[in-house]
Amino acid sequence: MNPRNLLRRAGLAIAAAPQPLSGGDMGRVWRVGDYVVKSHPNPPAGMFAAEKRGLEELASRGARTPHVYWAGAEGIVLEYLPPGPDNWAGLAEMLARLHSSPSERYGGLQPAFIGSLPLESGSDHNWPRFWREKRLLPLLTLTAPQLGPLAARVEEFINAYDWPAEGPRLIHGDLWNGNVLMSSRGPALIDPSAWNGERAVDLAMMRLFGGFAPALWQAYQEALPMPLQIRDALEAYQLYFLLVHVHFFGSGYVPSVRRILSRYKAL
């Protein structure tokens, strides 16, 4: 989809030539003047509407996000946030505020996606049951061919591990460093996979691929301390994102899945 066409559908004036932006693993992204335009060659129904809803929900809980001008079946038009200086303390404060805001149940915000993959719908008061049945086990089904014999061990771990819980919170859901912007207005979150879960899910993804300065972790721990039980479980929670990566990018992530199992083999 031509980004100019999406801007016309949004009823916005076009004064600049489209410039491709990075971050388009699941589609195409352009800057067009004051706007960011995203599209996908074959988007699943509801994907961009879910992104709009997720950004607005995060903003309602105190997170900075780009304004959404328009979302349709083919794409989404967002506010362009100019780059600014790193502000790790500001990001920590924003995440602590988000992770301090309670929700009633796990799940919700339907439909939800991670990338272009639809997530299982539903809600539950029971975190281990929701996490297993609506997140991990569906991913295991999708990735079993790539995992091969390891799939049985993954299933055993998913069912046997005592997943710690602090209570439902709205989470970003895909919080790697590429989904954080250090903008001129302060840190901002983009490309959410927002749903009500455990904050450990966000923290696990932040640790998985790195890119967050030690100052962020120090400030976050001061603002909203992580109990030892949560800190010890972060690698286990990374299993979710590793299975997502196996699904999208292939068996190169299988050794990382095996590492998680080895880390907790004594349990």
Active site residues: 174
d(CA 186, CA 168) in angstroms, rounded, equals 26
Burial status of residue 134 (CB atoms within 10 A of its CB: 0-12, 13-18, 19 or more): buried
Task: For residue 28, give the nearest of 17, 41, 18 by alpha carbon.
Answer: 41
* Both tokens assigned to 178: 């590429």
The 8-class DSSP code of residue 267 comes to -
Query: Residues near 231 by Cβ (< 8 Å), separated by ≥ 6?
Result: none
Secondary structure of residue 17 in the 3-state scheme: coil
CA distances from 230 to 62, 104, 163, 197, 202 (A): 23, 20, 9, 14, 12
- 138's enclosing H/E stretch is helix 137-147
* Spatial CA neighbour of 65 closest among 75, 80, 50: 80
Q: What is the DSSP letter of 117?
A: E
Angle (CA) 131-254-134 rounded to 5° is 15
- State how far the Cα of 250 lies from the Cα of 73, in Å rounded to an integer: 27
